[in-house]
Amino acid sequence: MTERLYYNDSYLTEFRARVIESSPDLRRVYLDRTAFYPTSGGQPFDIGTLGGVRVSEVVDEDTRVAHILDEPLSEAEISGVIDWQRRFDHMQQHTGQHLLSAVLIGLFDATTVSFHLGAESSNIEVSRVLEPEQIRQAEQRANQIVYENRPVDVSFRDSSEDLGLRKPTDREGVIRIVSIQDLDRSACGGTHVRATGEIGSLLIRKQERIRGNLRIEFLCGMRAVKRARADFEALSAIGRSFSSTLDETPALVAAQLEKFQESDRARRRLSTELAQARGRELYTQTTPGPDGVRRIQQRVETLSDDVRAEAQSFTAGEKSIFVALAANPPSVLLAASTDSGINAKEALIKAGARGGGTPAMAQGRLNSTEDFSLPE
Ligand SMILES: [Zn+2]
């Protein structure tokens, strides 16, 4: 059984221990005592060194803690060092979770059903959906309690006592209880800061509805500061390109987008009108064949709406056939006036194209546009 030093002192970063057991390759090590936190309860494992060898993972094996090492460790008596920056960050996020969960149940009766501490951000899932205004209120309340710097205490009590826990536990015997003064009592084996002030700012970010629950993303401490800085820089860049202040940017972007959509609609309309005019002009410029039919064949990059508009306009004139061969992908558009003597759809299939349409206009894919010939 490994003695877990972090249960009583989450600020312990260096310790001495004896190696009790090792795997044959000496890279999985069990100690009599450890300050390394193994992944459990939503909080990831610590990293650091044992006897100078890097610890890359720590696994909770019920009564024992396994330390996974980068290299073999053969010494029997070693000193361990915890990566404090990573650990303290975890302590901030984890205590922040207790705080946020307690605030959400206090204000809105929203019970936390799960917790995940991620590399970038953390999230809790609560049992009900909350309005944006409620999220703002919860964030404010949580930060108020941070500024009050309330003590966070750890105690060990027997499960048979009336413990007044936020969430009932089914554990038997001695239970570790983490309390935030006058706010929260939770059964928890994780590492926490000693007062709410050390959590630092608590920033709530996106929410996502999941199976009737609400997943709430949050960041504490330096993560919140870094995120706010990144947000500011991203918003500033947008603001600069619109020559506006940050606060004015959202309205300005929305207005610009509307303007853009409006002018895009106008551009499409003009483009179609231009294509139609081209089709009419082309018709008057094309000399009819001996059978009186005007035939035109064009090469285009793609079969766009404009090409179709031009074809339609060309074949609005009597006795006319319009063919457009597109390079990308190899394809053909065929339009024919009703008195042209051909049915566009049938002629298209006869010419070996895979596609469809109407007797007036059809289009389809070709293996190659090289050997396509205009139907007579
Ligand atoms: Zn906890």
CA 184 – ligand 1 centroid, Å: 11
CA dist 256 and 267 (Å) reads 16
CA 99 – ligand 1 centroid, Å: 10
CA 193 – ligand 1 centroid, Å: 10
CA 356 – ligand 1 centroid, Å: 65
Rounded to the nearest 10 degrees, the angle between the axes of helix 84-108 and helix 132-147 is 120
CA dist 199 and 206 (Å) reads 20
The pLDDT, as a whole number, for residue 318 is: 95
CA 20 – ligand 1 centroid, Å: 28
CA 191 – ligand 1 centroid, Å: 6
CA 170 – ligand 1 centroid, Å: 16
CA 154 – ligand 1 centroid, Å: 10
The pLDDT, as a whole number, for residue 159 is: 85
CA 197 – ligand 1 centroid, Å: 16
CA 91 – ligand 1 centroid, Å: 9
CB burial string 150-172: b at 16+ within 10 A, e below? bebebeeeeeeeebebbeeeeee
The pLDDT, as a whole number, for residue 115 is: 94
The pLDDT, as a whole number, for residue 165 is: 87
CA 96 – ligand 1 centroid, Å: 9
CA dist 294 and 321 (Å) reads 6
The pLDDT, as a whole number, for residue 375 is: 58
CA 326 – ligand 1 centroid, Å: 65
Contact 180, 152 (CB under 8 A): yes
CA 93 – ligand 1 centroid, Å: 10
The pLDDT, as a whole number, for residue 161 is: 82
CA 32 – ligand 1 centroid, Å: 24
CA 190 – ligand 1 centroid, Å: 5
CA 338 – ligand 1 centroid, Å: 79
CA 47 – ligand 1 centroid, Å: 19
Rounded to the nearest 10 degrees, the angle between the axes of helix 249-285 and helix 222-241 is 40
CA 5 – ligand 1 centroid, Å: 16
CA 10 – ligand 1 centroid, Å: 11
pTM score, whole prediction: 0.77
Per-residue tokens: 159: 């499960």
Please give the chain's pLDDT, 376 residues, in tens: 999 999 999 999 999 999 999 999 999 999 999 999 999 988 999 999 999 999 999 999 999 999 999 999 999 999 999 999 999 999 999 999 999 999 999 999 999 999 999 999 999 999 999 999 999 999 999 999 999 999 999 999 998 888 888 888 888 889 999 999 999 999 999 999 999 999 999 999 999 999 889 999 999 999 999 999 999 999 999 999 988 888 899 999 999 999 999 999 999 999 999 999 999 999 999 999 999 999 999 999 999 999 999 999 999 999 999 999 999 899 999 999 999 999 999 999 888 899 999 999 999 999 888 878 765 6
Q: What is the dihedral of CA 357, 363, 365, 370, to 10 degrees?
A: 140
CA dist 232 and 246 (Å) reads 8
Contact 345, 333 (CB under 8 A): no
CA 45 – ligand 1 centroid, Å: 14
The pLDDT, as a whole number, for residue 374 is: 66
